Structure 1
Amino acid sequence: MPTLLLAGLLAGIVTSVSPCVLPVLPVVLTAGARRPWGVVGGLVTSFSLTTLFGSLVLTALSLPAGLVRDAGIVALALLGIGLLVPRVGELLERPFARLRGRAAAPGRGGFATGLALGLVYVPCAGPVLATIAVVGATHRIGFDSLLLTAAFGVGTGIPLLVLAASGGALARRARFLRAHARGLRAATGAALLLVAAVTAFDLAAPLQRAVPDYTAAAQQAVGAEQLDELTHAPEFTGIGTWLNTPGGQPVSLRALRGKVVVVSFWTYSCINCQRALPHLERWHETYRDAGLTVVGVHTPEFAFEHDPGNVADQAKALGVTYPVAVDDDYATWTAYGNRYWPAAYLVDATGQVRRTSFGEGGYAEFEQQIRAALTDAGTPSLPHATDVPGTTPPGGLTPETYLGAEHAPLATSGSPVAAGQTRGYTFPAAVDPGTFALDGTWTADPEHLTAGPGARLRLSFRATSVHLVLGGTGTVTVDGTRTIAVGGPPTLYTVLDGHSGPGELTLSLSTGTQAYAFTFG
């Protein structure tokens, strides 16, 4: 538990000093200087509540995923107008003043300003997005999710509060606020309108990209920490289907006591998981007679991965022969406190978790731990270590890019994608690095985009290979030269391989083809 709180706190602090925070700084420096506790408190409150509950409420009411951000923009604009035009401010605050039983006072509500500001700050929640993804997939909010988000909110508020309070202290010391109250109120209103416009039209994106993201390494380090202390391996729970076991019978860690077990969390359309599978399969083949059991826990990321038939077909296509637990309800995932695809837990013969591995790489070191655990379990001799070539790509690649309306507004250059709408798009003059743009007719769904007449997608990327999760039935033509046939359950397709350095590609999708997410190698 202390590790969880510390990780969330550090992630929040790191985020609040990253380029992501640039759009909200004008308000922190103006309104925050007058009411630092109110503004920052409101920001942390609305940010935390929206992070945890926003996606659940929007999904339940079938509302567009961008509604929260749009509501924040509207609220900031109204507050700004109210500060610039006192008569409008009185009208806006009059309903609340009646509830309090006292006269309205324009510009009094620093907390209300912070509440609106928190709604447009939500996209900065990168370090806790894994927890948010689990909440959205399970529709359950656990105690650890509450703690992590609360700690992240407090962490992100600390530097902002210091900045706002320092400005306020200097201003009070100079008696500046009292002498220039009207001018400062107008400046605050202008700052609110500026933030609303910058957020609405994504005007800060070029500046954010120009400012070096000096916190990226720190965020990655924080995210890589195991957030729950885990010693005794939890039992497999909530598993509806087992694959690759005799008669589909379940596997039990209790029954495997005395053996060494690798518990591997994965999902079949994840390229990072696919690159890890050959290592797991080779360990299964090499060490099963020496006392090792590999168990894959398939916990879905997309809705189509909840279908056990799809999982069975793709596991077979990917050459997985060891037992696979279909963890559709995230029950085993939650029991382990897991947050990553892929993730591996090495359980020794006594049932204790001896080693964890999150993400790709580190296979040789993990195998050495397997061999040590087998030796400790009494295996008299071991076969030679495996030599599966590593395919983990180097750093500096474009990160995974989701195309569904839940995430696309954060990554799209050009017109934002609105959930539930079918509309036409036009390519911009240039696509910003690491983003994509649309052309033709598209329909937006929470997890994917569905191509309509003339649908094209242009992607700017840095990678050697580009992979795209596709569904529906149709074709995808890559740069007008190569056509990919799409059919069957949604899965991962390679659209480009053998590229070097940064690049750009244009995909033409036939009507009805569904595009979910890009991953890179």
Structure 2
Amino acid sequence: MIILVIVGIVSGLITAVSPCVLPVLPAILTSSIQDGARSSRRPYVVVGGLVTSFAVFTLLGGVILSSLGLPADVLRWVGIVTLAIVGLGLAVPAVGHILERPFQNTRMPKLSRDGNGFVMGLALGLVFVPCAGPILASITVLAATKGLSWGLVALTLSFSAGVAVPLLGFGVAGQRIGSHIKAVRTRLQAIRIASGVVLIVTALVIATNLAEPLQRLVPAALAQVQNQIENDSGVQSRLDSLAGRTNSSSGASGALTLDQCEQGPIDKLQNCGPARDFTGIDQWLNTPDGKPLTLAGLKGRVVLIDFWTYSCINCQRTFPYLNAWDKRYRDEGLTIIGVHAPEFSFEKVVSNVKDAAARYGINYPIAIDNEYATWNAWDQSYWPAHYLIDQQGNVRQVHYGEGGYAETESLIQQLLHTPAEAPVKVAPAHDTQGRTQESYLGSQRLQYADNMDLQYGKAATYVGNATPSLNSFSYDGEWTIGGESAVAGSKARIYLHFYAADAHLVLGGTGTVTVTLASDPSFKHVIAINGISDLYELYSGEAREDIMTIDVSPGVEAYTFTFG
């Protein structure tokens, strides 16, 4: 516990001196000097409000929002609106007096003094939460999936304390410098107005994500220190213990952890400890009468567990190998089980999974893991990932991602004691070196859009860049950008600058998508979207760099680009 508290404080310190504080730093500095030397406690009030909301909503925000059925980003917008209102009250004194009136007959501090500072701090804490690093990410996930514990509360409070120290230093230093400057002491009303303007600008900057490019510029030295601290094996072990993770060998003699096995030689059988069983499965497909399978019931057979999700192109490239192994070795004693853990909400619909299995010719059993119970039991983090289990129920090979097919098949043959034979031949999928990265269109993971004025959660019309930079795309026309996807409106279009041998887009809804290429006027590909959310091919051929224009009819949902 002591080590986690120390790590929490140090990680908070690093977070508070990194570029992620840039959007809130001007607000802290100006609010600290707006009363000159009259209120020496003001920096403490502001930072106190910040760390209070930061800690409380980090621990409880997910629970509160899910219980009320509210969108995941509502707290962020509450913070932004509150900052803007407080700023308006300071910048326009008449408005400030109006805002004060509801509190005049209460014991709450007036808006123009410490009450103003504490409320502003609360708002800053809400918009500051997304800036945190791996420790806070662990806290958030644990709070959402494991509930509160004393260890989690201690880690959160220590992290918040670490965040508070540098911010308080900035605020106190700013106040002391301001109190020694005559212009500040004699023009406090102008300073308050300027502070209000800064708050309004801060709200606008955060709302429009203008500071994101700067926030990502974490100095290499700072990132290295943070990684050394937070990725230390001892720290990770304590976090795993706090989370109740069992990424271990269960005490088996000489056994490696699953991650250690994955990092070891892929072409050799290893001792990775006992396999974890299936848990929390919603439904089974491709089993007699839909009956569940257990590892105990499969003892005596070699089992290959494959974690996948049907719209993932990386997973789709593994299907031909898995299907071929199922056909070749099922009668020899191999059972393949695909654990389907959804990446998008539409992938939780069992009928969609059934349709995908039929399209890709998957006949081996499929476990629907919509609540990620089995995913968590295996400490999963990747799509695809597979675990090869011997006849006694021990994991003998772990592999994350694509590839390693020949090595895995050789190990299957060894475990089955079948004669060695050449690995199955599958038509090679495109795997272009240096191809464009996977690119999401929803706000939750939106990163490569070449637009400066994106708005989330409501319809907006964009003027797109017809020549976006390589590996980026640009919205044009009317789009409604939600958390997971963007929904097309009037004259919706996407310009995509890519390099790959094939390009795909996960689409849903009903309508058409028309694809053209800048370098080939004769290329025109019209895709009918029939209501089933799935991966659709936009282009396949020789590897090329090109600008693709994608015209999308109203109502069609676009989720993510993938490339090969």
SS of the equivalent of 2:62 reads helix
Query: Which range is displaced more, 24-33 or 480-489?
Result: 24-33
In the alignment, the residues of structure 1 paired with residue 468 and residue 364 of structure 2 have an alpha-carbon distance, to the nearest angstrom, of 43
2:83 matches 1:41: no
How big is each residue's C-alpha offset from its partner over 1:426-455, in whole Å with a ceiling of 9 and x where there is no partner? Answer: 335875776544333445665444434422
SS of the equivalent of 1:100 reads coil
Contact map agreement 2:51 2:125 (CA 8 A) in 1:
no
Pair 4,159 (structure 1): closer, same or farther in 2 beyond 3 Å? closer
Pair 478,6 (structure 1): closer, same or farther in 2 beyond 3 Å? farther
For residues 274-353 of structure 1, the aligned pairs below 5 Å read: 274-284=316-326, 288=330, 291-353=333-395
Pair 47,133 (structure 1): closer, same or farther in 2 beyond 3 Å? closer
Contact map agreement 2:22 2:215 (CA 8 A) in 1:
yes
Deviation of 1:457 after TM superposition, in Å, equals 1.9
In the alignment, the residues of structure 1 paired with residue 441 and residue 3 of structure 2 have an alpha-carbon distance, to the nearest angstrom, of 30
In the alignment, the residues of structure 1 paired with residue 367 and residue 375 of structure 2 have an alpha-carbon distance, to the nearest angstrom, of 11
- 2:511 is aligned to 474
2:167 matches 1:164: yes
2:496 matches 1:459: yes
Contact map agreement 2:492 2:553 (CA 8 A) in 1:
yes
In the alignment, the residues of structure 2 paired with residue 112 and residue 441 of structure 1 have an alpha-carbon distance, to the nearest angstrom, of 36
In the alignment, the residues of structure 2 paired with residue 415 and residue 254 of structure 1 have an alpha-carbon distance, to the nearest angstrom, of 55
Pair 289,74 (structure 1): closer, same or farther in 2 beyond 3 Å? same
In the alignment, the residues of structure 1 paired with residue 174 and residue 75 of structure 2 have an alpha-carbon distance, to the nearest angstrom, of 33
Contact map agreement 2:303 2:337 (CA 8 A) in 1:
yes
Query: Which range is displaced more, 178-187 or 276-285?
Result: 178-187
Q: Which of 366, 378, 400 is the equivalent residue of 2:439?
A: 400
Deviation of 1:143 after TM superposition, in Å, equals 0.9
Contact map agreement 1:465 1:520 (CA 8 A) in 2:
yes
Contact map agreement 1:46 1:118 (CA 8 A) in 2:
no
In the alignment, the residues of structure 2 paired with residue 21 and residue 88 of structure 1 have an alpha-carbon distance, to the nearest angstrom, of 29
In the alignment, the residues of structure 2 paired with residue 130 and residue 174 of structure 1 have an alpha-carbon distance, to the nearest angstrom, of 36
- Listed as ranges, the gaps of 5+ residues in structure 1 are none
Query: Which range is displaced more, 453-462 or 219-228?
Result: 219-228
In the alignment, the residues of structure 2 paired with residue 146 and residue 394 of structure 1 have an alpha-carbon distance, to the nearest angstrom, of 46
Deviation of 1:41 after TM superposition, in Å, equals 0.7
Number of equivalenced pairs: 506
Contact map agreement 1:399 1:520 (CA 8 A) in 2:
yes
Query: Which range is displaced more, 21-30 or 251-260?
Result: 21-30
Pair 442,82 (structure 1): closer, same or farther in 2 beyond 3 Å? closer
How big is each residue's C-alpha offset from its partner over 1:193-246, in whole Å with a ceiling of 9 and x where there is no partner? Answer: 33112223433355457x478588988996998953334544323434333334
Q: Which of 232, 249, 263 is the equivalent residue of 2:291?
A: 249
Deviation of 1:392 after TM superposition, in Å, equals 6.1
In the alignment, the residues of structure 2 paired with residue 97 and residue 351 of structure 1 have an alpha-carbon distance, to the nearest angstrom, of 70
Q: Which of 71, 78, 91 is the equivalent residue of 2:85?
A: 78
Pair 384,493 (structure 1): closer, same or farther in 2 beyond 3 Å? same
Deviation of 1:374 after TM superposition, in Å, equals 8.2
- 1:264 is aligned to 306
Deviation of 1:286 after TM superposition, in Å, equals 5.7
- 1:229 is aligned to 246
2:370 matches 1:363: no
Question: Residue type of the partner of 2:107?
Answer: R
In the alignment, the residues of structure 2 paired with residue 505 and residue 152 of structure 1 have an alpha-carbon distance, to the nearest angstrom, of 48
2:560 matches 1:517: yes
In the alignment, the residues of structure 2 paired with residue 18 and residue 116 of structure 1 have an alpha-carbon distance, to the nearest angstrom, of 20
Q: Which of 446, 451, 456 is the equivalent residue of 1:413?
A: 451
How big is each residue's C-alpha offset from its partner over 1:330-376, in whole Å with a ceiling of 9 and x where there is no partner? Answer: 44334445344333344454445565544x246369839x93x986x
Query: Which range is displaced more, 7-16 or 389-398?
Result: 7-16
Query: Which range is displaced more, 430-439 or 309-318?
Result: 430-439
2:117 matches 1:117: no
For residues 40-59 of structure 1, the aligned pairs below 5 Å read: 40-42=50-52, 44-45=54-55, 48=58, 52-53=62-63, 56=66
SS of the equivalent of 2:24 reads helix
- 1:193 is aligned to 200
2:183 matches 1:142: no
TM-score (norm 2): 0.70
Question: Residue type of the partner of 2:451?
Answer: S
2:550 matches 1:507: yes
Question: Residue type of the partner of 2:408?
Answer: E
Contact map agreement 1:86 1:106 (CA 8 A) in 2:
no
In the alignment, the residues of structure 1 paired with residue 53 and residue 201 of structure 2 have an alpha-carbon distance, to the nearest angstrom, of 17
Deviation of 1:26 after TM superposition, in Å, equals 2.5
2:27 matches 1:27: yes
Contact map agreement 1:13 1:155 (CA 8 A) in 2:
no
Pair 101,439 (structure 1): closer, same or farther in 2 beyond 3 Å? closer
How big is each residue's C-alpha offset from its partner over 1:138-160, in whole Å with a ceiling of 9 and x where there is no partner? Answer: xx942169899979966875664
SS of the equivalent of 2:317 reads helix
- 1:100 is aligned to 107
Deviation of 1:383 after TM superposition, in Å, equals 3.0
In the alignment, the residues of structure 2 paired with residue 251 and residue 71 of structure 1 have an alpha-carbon distance, to the nearest angstrom, of 47
SS of the equivalent of 2:87 reads helix
Sequence identity, in percent? 38
The alignment yields a C-alpha RMSD, in angstroms, of 5.1
Contact map agreement 2:99 2:111 (CA 8 A) in 1:
no
Pair 276,237 (structure 1): closer, same or farther in 2 beyond 3 Å? same
In the alignment, the residues of structure 1 paired with residue 539 and residue 6 of structure 2 have an alpha-carbon distance, to the nearest angstrom, of 41
Pair 206,306 (structure 1): closer, same or farther in 2 beyond 3 Å? closer
Deviation of 1:401 after TM superposition, in Å, equals 0.7
Query: Which range is displaced more, 216-225 or 293-302?
Result: 216-225
Q: Which of 177, 194, 209 is the equivalent residue of 1:202?
A: 209
How big is each residue's C-alpha offset from its partner over 1:37-63, in whole Å with a ceiling of 9 and x where there is no partner? Answer: 4154145236515862476367x25x6
